[in-house]
Amino acid sequence: MAELPINILTDAGFTTDEANAIVKALVKGDNLHGDTNDDEPINIDDLPPEKKEALDRFNIAVAADA
């Protein structure tokens, strides 16, 4: 598997831990909309626009590798 472009997320202000938690949740297929908990650490609906945009760019970047 190619190295993931985590820098897209961290450059937008996510911490490394948050970025890794997002990746884990995406791989597991967790729903990142709605309430947060240990399995769903980020509610993307509550993110500021710049972080939402970075998450979209991250998803597009990794989808191209799939």
Q: What is the pLDDT of residue 25?
A: 86
9-63 pLDDT per residue, tens = 999 999 999 999 889 888 888 878 877 665 566 788 889 999 999 999 999 999 8
Q: For the chain, which residues make up each domain, given as ranges? A: 7-63
What's the residue count for the chain?
A: 66
- Show Cβ contacts of residue 66 under 8 Å, excluding neighbours closer than 6 positions: none
Q: How far apart are CA 54 and CA 9, in angstroms?
A: 6
